[in-house]
Amino acid sequence: RKLTKVSSKRHTMTMMMMVTPALLSRPIACKLVARVISSSSASHHHQFGTAPQSQCSRKPAARLNSGSGEPAPPAAAAAAGFGIARQIHHLRQHARRPSSSGGGTEDTRKDENGTLVDPQSDGDRAADESEAVVEEIGGDTTCRPSVNDEGLEVEEEKQQQQQQQQQQQQPFFPWRHESTETARLLEKDDFSGMPNNFRARFVRRLVACRELNMTALDAIPIPFYARGWEEELAGNFQAAFGLALEELLSSMFRGTVEVTKDDRGTISIDSSVRNDDDGDSQGNENNAEYLNRMLDKNLIAKYQTLNPDNLHLKLSIRPIEATLEHIFAVPLLSREIVEKKPNLRGGYQRIEQAFADKKSYATVKEMTYDLAREVGEDDAYTRTVIADATIECSEFFQVRDARDGVVVRGMEDGQEAEGVVHNVRFEVVTEKSDDGMGRKVGSWKIIDIDDLLEGNVFH
C-alpha cells in the first residue's frame, strides 16, 4: 500500500513538472510544492533547488532545503508553475469522488471496530496545507489564476469603447503627410478598371492623347524622359493644385482664418489665429463658385463637413515639382451624364469584368453597344480624360486639439518642413468641335487628393 501511495504521488509530481512555471510567484509555488510532496511520504526526502524567476514575480529567489539541509535540485522549477487554485480543486475532486464500490464516498469508511469515520484524504491534507501556505505568506495573489475572466473581458471592452470614443472626439483633418507615393501609384494602377499591363496602359494613353488633340507619336512613352506636352500639363497641374488648396482652406474656415501665399508660392495657414470679423459673405459666395470650378463637389464636401472649431490646423506647403503618372480616356461618359442617369455608373467596370470572366469579345461588343444606346445620341460624342499627377512639396503639417492644444497629428513646433508627395487626380470633358476637326477640351478639375475618395470613380 505504501508503494502504491508513493507511486500515485510521484505520478502527481510528474504531471506537476510538465506545467510551465508562469502562474504562481516563486515563494508561493515552492512552499506549496514542498508541503504537497512532504505529505506524500514522510520516509522519502526530496531535495529542491532554487525555483526559476517567475515572469510575474520579481522577488528574490527562495531556497527550499530538505531535512538534510542541502540545497535542492531543479525539480521544483517545473512544479512551481502549477496553479494553486487549480491544484486545490483537482485534489479535492479526486479525494471526494464517488467510490467505485457503490454507496458512500471515499470520505466515509469504517475503522477496525466497524465505526464510521471521516478521515482526511491525502488530497484534502495537501489542499488544506496549500491554503495555509497562502495565508502564511500574507495572501499574495499576484499571479494566481483566480481572476474573473469574464470581468477582465468586460473591462477590456470598456477600455476599447473609451478609446474609440476618444478617437471619434479627436479633431480630424483629411490630409496625407508622407514622403512616398500612394500604394496604388506604386503598383501602376490608374483606377481605370482596365488591364494593368504595359500594352493596355499604352493604348489608354494613345486614346487620351488623341482626345487632347495630340498625335500618336506624342503618345509613345520614352523611358526617363518627359515630352514637352507632359511637362506643360504637369506644370499646369502643379499651379492648379496650389490655387485650389488656397481656396479650399479659406472656404473651410469660412473666411475667418487668413490664408497667405508668399513670393515662392508657399501657402500658409494657422487656424488658431482667427480674424475679428466673420468674413465677407459676398466674397465667400464668389470663392465658393470659383472653388466649384476647380474641385469636384464630392471632394469639397469632405472638407466642408468638418467642424473647424474642434481643431487648430497649421499647414505650410510649397509645391516644387509635378510629374504626370497616368492618363486615359473614358468614351461616351462624363460625370454629369452619370449624375443624370445613375444606372450608367460603373458601366465600363462591368464590361471589363465580363471580359475577364468570359473572355468573349462578342459579349464586350454587345455590352458596349448597349451602353451607347443608354447614353443616347445627344451625349454620344462626350468623353472624359482622367490623369494622375504626383506633386512633390515642402510641407509643415500639424493638427492640434482646440480644447487642450495637444498635437494629435503631424509635426511638433520648431521642426523643419519635410519633403512630401501628394497624388492629385484630375479630369476634363471633351466634346466634338464645331468645325468637326479635332476635339473641344474643357477645363481641368481636381477630383481626388491622395485617394481620399479612392479615385472618385464614376465610369
Q: Is pLDDT larger for residue 185 or for residue 45?
A: 185
Q: Is pLDDT larger for residue 396 or for residue 49?
A: 396
**Cα dihedral across residues 172, 174, 177, 182: positive or negative:** positive
Nearest to 246 by CA among 308, 182, 309, 315: 315
With a cut of 90, say whether residue 269 has pLDDT above it: yes
In sequence order, which residues have a C-beta less than 8 Å from that of residue 112 and are 6 or more positions away? Answer: none
The dihedral formed by the CA atoms of 238, 243, 245 and 251, expressed in degrees to the nearest 10: -170
pLDDT in tens, 60-103: 334 334 444 444 444 444 344 444 445 545 545 554 444 444 44
Report for 189-203, 297-311, 316-330: range of highest mean pLDDT? 316-330
Q: How many CA atoms are closer than 13 Å to the CA of 149, on its beta-carbon side?
A: 1
Average pLDDT along the chain: 74
Report for 110-124, 170-184, 314-328: range of highest mean pLDDT? 314-328
* pLDDT of amino acid 113: 52
* pLDDT of amino acid 289: 83
Q: What is the DSSP letter of 309?
A: G
Nearest to 397 by CA among 297, 310, 318: 318
Name the β-bridge partners of 439.
432
* pLDDT of amino acid 60: 39
Q: What grid cell was written down for 456?
A: 472618385
With a cut of 90, say whether residue 193 has pLDDT above it: no
Percent of the chain with pLDDT over 70: 63
Q: Is pLDDT larger for residue 160 or for residue 205?
A: 205
Specify the long-range contacts of residues 8-11, CB closer than 8 Å, at least 24 apart: 9/37, 9/40, 9/41, 9/122, 10/40
Q: What's the average model confidence in pLDDT over 162-167? A: 58
* pLDDT of amino acid 149: 58
What whole-number distance in Å separates Cα of residue 457 and Cα of residue 381? Answer: 20
In sequence order, which residues have a C-beta less than 8 Å from that of residue 352 and are 6 or more positions away? Answer: 193, 194, 195
Q: What grid cell was written down for 251?
A: 472656404
Q: What's the average model confidence in pLDDT over 329-349? A: 87
Radius of gyration of the chain (CA): 39
* pLDDT of amino acid 208: 94
Q: What's the average model confidence in pLDDT over 357-368? A: 83
With a cut of 80, say whether residue 4 has pLDDT above it: no
Q: pLDDT tier at 224 (50, 70, 90 boundaries)?
A: confident
With a cut of 60, say whether residue 175 has pLDDT above it: yes
Q: What grid cell was written down for 419?
A: 519633403
pLDDT in tens, 7-20: 444 444 444 444 44
∠ CA 363-366-197, nearest 5°, is 55
Nearest to 76 by CA among 98, 92, 54, 95: 54
* pLDDT of amino acid 281: 55
Q: What's the average model confidence in pLDDT over 163-186? A: 78
Asked if 353 contacts 278 with a C-beta cutoff of 8 angstroms, the reply is: no
* pLDDT of amino acid 133: 45
Lowest mean pLDDT among 120-129, 207-216, 232-241, 443-452: 120-129
Percent of the chain with pLDDT over 90: 34
